[in-house]
Structure 1
Amino acid sequence: MTILLIYIAIFVGAFFAVKAVAGHLTKRSDFTSRKTVTFGDESAVTANRAASVISVIAIFLIWGAFTGSSLSPIHAPGPFVGDATFTYTVETPDGQRDDGTVHVRVFPRDAAADVPEIEPGDGFAKDDAAKVAAWRSVLIRVDRNDEIGRDQGAKVVAIDGQAIAPGETVQVASGEVTLTPKGTPNYKPEQGWQMEPVWLPPPEAVAGRVIEIMGGGYQNFTLAEHVGWSLFRVIAGFLAGALVGIPLGYAMGLSDWFRGWFDPIVEFMRPVPPLALIPLVIIWAGIGEVGKVILLFLAALWIMTIAARAGVSGVRISKIHAAYSLGASKWQILRHVIVPNSLPEIFTGARVAMGVCWGTVVAAELVAAEKGAGMMIMVASRFQLTDIVIMGIILIGVIGYAIDILMRMAENWLIPWKGRG
């Protein structure tokens, strides 16, 4: 919740700052700036590059701040590290009370430390010493060296002067102490706001993993081979889905017979997640490459079919009437009217289908894959190698984003009439 609030604050602050600066430094004189109505007009809305840059920087700053990264100029409060003490009060069955002091050395998770040397002190409650790594907790058997122990009826009744009972927790100067159901104190040092590296490593750790795997590989294959095989599977499945789905969508949009015949199948399969088809694909096609490509083919097929059908249905009837009035044949109308006007919908569907294929490739590579970005993520997750998991996610996202940019560039080049009626 804290991270979300910080992100929202950065967003709001950056919005007003960029608007204030841009209003004075830039003056637009393009077609959009001359429009009298821009609110609600999609063609008048373009991505603000300053907002994109600030968004990416903000994400990395928040990531670095909450992981203690050396690349971040600011840091959230980290876990407590150092020597801490707290006192415990022991009460005997006959009402006697005595205090003992516990000395705990909290050391960084990736370092080593010795238990502090102390004197046991006077009284029947002796002082104790322990060590614990940051983000961890330690159970302290205070009665082991006490003259009157738990087996003689003695019990801990207070921590730092605060009354406590089994199952309760009290705050101390450097963390918290919980009394177990058997009456043993469990000390947990203050964790701060930073994430433990096993849950979220800093950016430099992920970058280091990228360099390491690029040089030495992972699971007997280089990083390029892992990414290359994932890319091959996604492109093969997507192209197969497009080659079947686009003609099927055109047929459904142009023929009532095709529409009636295939509409129940398409509408039935469209909401079925590709992950649910994995067992069936394994039965039909086995666990080899063919099965993975078939799964990605099915992920793209229905999206491309619906996109092509929607593109045909969205062609303005006035254009078709105009073509008929000029003596055009059905083939000419299909080639010069329907196909050009349906291409924007098809490209939109292709971008969606490619995103779904990239999201499905991780699941496809779960099935006996020896190489691939998804396989790399899944194997790393079993050993809690979070840096490799994040590296794989970033690679899939970056490659997917790059493909989407290329598809948008192709769209702008191939169909420059999009949005112009």
Structure 2
Amino acid sequence: MPLSAAPARTEASAAAPAANPPLKPRAARRRRHVPDWVWSVTSIAALLALWFGVTRSGLVKPGYLPAPETLWTTFLELLENGYQGQPLWAHIQSSLLRTLSGFAAGVLVGVPLGLFTGYNRLAGAVVSPIMAFIRPIPPIAFIPMAVLYFGLGELGKVVLIFFVSFNYVQTNAHAGAANFPIAYRRASESLGLTRWQTFVRIVLPGALPQIFTGLKVALALSWAVVVAAELVGAQSGLGFMISDAALLFRIPVVFIGIALIGAIGLALNLTLNAIEARVVHWKGR
């Protein structure tokens, strides 16, 4: 074999991979990437398909799991005729008013107190043991006391929701003010800032992400607790509608009430997320 043939074969073998270069890892990942919304839509569609399949197959009696078309028909009837002599929007309004009133009162008291106890060591030492004792107690346990002290009217329900929101808002505001880096405090001292200036310019902005975390948890729990609060002595609201329909075995109305609670809770959470994105615009950057 001539010696000149070896280099030719080597050059040909070296040029062969270049004609069909492998995909770059980043390009391959881009091809395999599926948007998150596709997975979300797929999961919802699968759940609806399972619901249709179970109701059509007869595995569960319609009295226990209504078909989707039954719920839609019942929802239209509720929109037209209301429930127990009151429009559907009136029940939603009652629950929202109780929730937002108690939540707003809890925020107005809990955020300043949490910031103060987190920033001031002595105040934290006084308040923290009390909050650590109250925090594990479930809010439902306070329903009898709310009825005893405030009666069956609106005030007892608002006070119960206030307790829930105050508990979580104060805890997160305290953590946000107490856990800011000590280097920031020393930097403010070196710049000659007063304690008030340090609090306003450093501690408060640094605590805002933690505060909004507490707000979102408190709002979700407040919206959940209003259902329990409306089980006692209420004549309106989504919680009243669910409990009354369950006693009358109107299961489609129960499902619709639960769905409305979930949808409104989602809307409240999205609203708070939008506010957080505007106020704490530096978060995650």
Class of the TM-score when normalised by the shorter of the 2 chains? 0.7 to 0.9
Structure 1 position 24, deviation (Å): 2.0
1:325 and 1:55 map into 2 onto residues whose CA distance is 55
Q: Is 1:392 aligned to residue 257 of structure 2?
A: yes
CA RMSD of aligned residues (A): 1.7
Q: Tell me which of 273, 288, 294 is aligned to 2:138.
A: 273
Q: Which amino acid aligns with 2:196?
A: W
Aligned AA (1:24): R
Letter in 2 for 1:337: I
For residues 26 and 272 of structure 1, what CA distance do their matches in structure 2 show? 45
Return the structure number with greater helix share. Answer: 2
* Deviation at residue 210 of structure 1 after TM alignment: 1.2
For residues 264 and 313 of structure 1, the distance between their equivalents in structure 2, rounded to whole angstroms, comes to: 15
Residue 348 (structure 1) aligns with: 213
Deviations 1:9-42, CA, capped at 9 Å, x for gaps: xxxxxxxxxxxx9842869xxxxxxxxxxxxxxx
Alignment partner of 1:57 out of 45, 49, 58: 45
Partner of 1:253: 118
Give 1:67's match in structure 2, choosing from 55, 69, 73.
55
Q: CA deviation at 1:388?
A: 0.7
When residues 22 and 59 of structure 1 are mapped into structure 2, their CA distance, relative to the original with a 3 A threshold, is farther
Q: Which amino acid aligns with 1:329?
A: T
Show the counterpart of 1:290: 155
Task: Give, as a single letter, the amino acid of the residue that structure 2 aligns with 1:408.
Answer: N
Which AA in structure 2 matches 1:270? R
The one-letter code sitting in structure 1 at the alignment partner of 2:92 is: V
| Deviation of the 1:253 alpha carbon | 0.5
Match of 1:325 in 2: 190
Q: Taking structure 1 as the reference length, what is the TM-score of the superposition?
A: 0.59
Match of 1:174 in 2: none
Aligned to 2:242: 377
> In structure 1, what residue type is equivalent to 2:91?
H
Per-residue deviation, residues 82-102 of structure 1 (Å, max 9, x unmatched): xxxxxxxxxxxxxxxxxxxxx
Q: C-alpha distance in 2, partners of 1:256/1:341?
A: 18
Please give the per-residue CA displacement for 1:321-372, whole angstroms capped at 9, x wherever unaligned. Answer: 2222222211111111111110101101111111111111111101211110
Distance apart, 1:57 and its partner CA: 1.7
- Taking the aligned partners of 1:276 and 1:406, their CA distance within structure 2 comes to 30
Structure with higher RCO (Cα < 8 A, 6+ apart): 2
Structure 1 residues 307, 287: closer, same or farther in 2, change over 3 A?
same
Pick the structure with greater CA Rg. 1
- Aligned partner of residue 210 in structure 2, secondary structure: helix
- Structure 2 gap segments, 5+ residues each: 1-27
Distance 1:364 1:22, change over 3 A: farther
2:232 to 349, 367, 370: 367
Match 1:24 to one of 31, 35, 40:
31
Partner of 2:93: 228
Among 155, 167, 171, the alignment partner of 1:302 is: 167
* Runs of 4+ that moved beyond 4 A: none
Amino acid at match of 2:191: L
Structure 1 range deviating more: 373-382 or 203-212: 203-212
SS at structure 2 position matched to 1:66: helix
Q: Distance in 1 between matches of 2:29 and 2:217?
A: 33
> What residue is the counterpart of 1:31 in the other structure?
none
2:202 equivalent to 1:337? yes
TM, length-normalised to structure 2: 0.86
**CA–CA distance in structure 2, aligned partners of residues 411 and 211 of structure 1:** 35
Unaligned runs of 5+ in 1: 1-20, 28-46, 69-76, 79-193
Q: CA deviation at 1:257?
A: 2.1
d(CA) in 1 for partners of 2:38, 2:187: 45
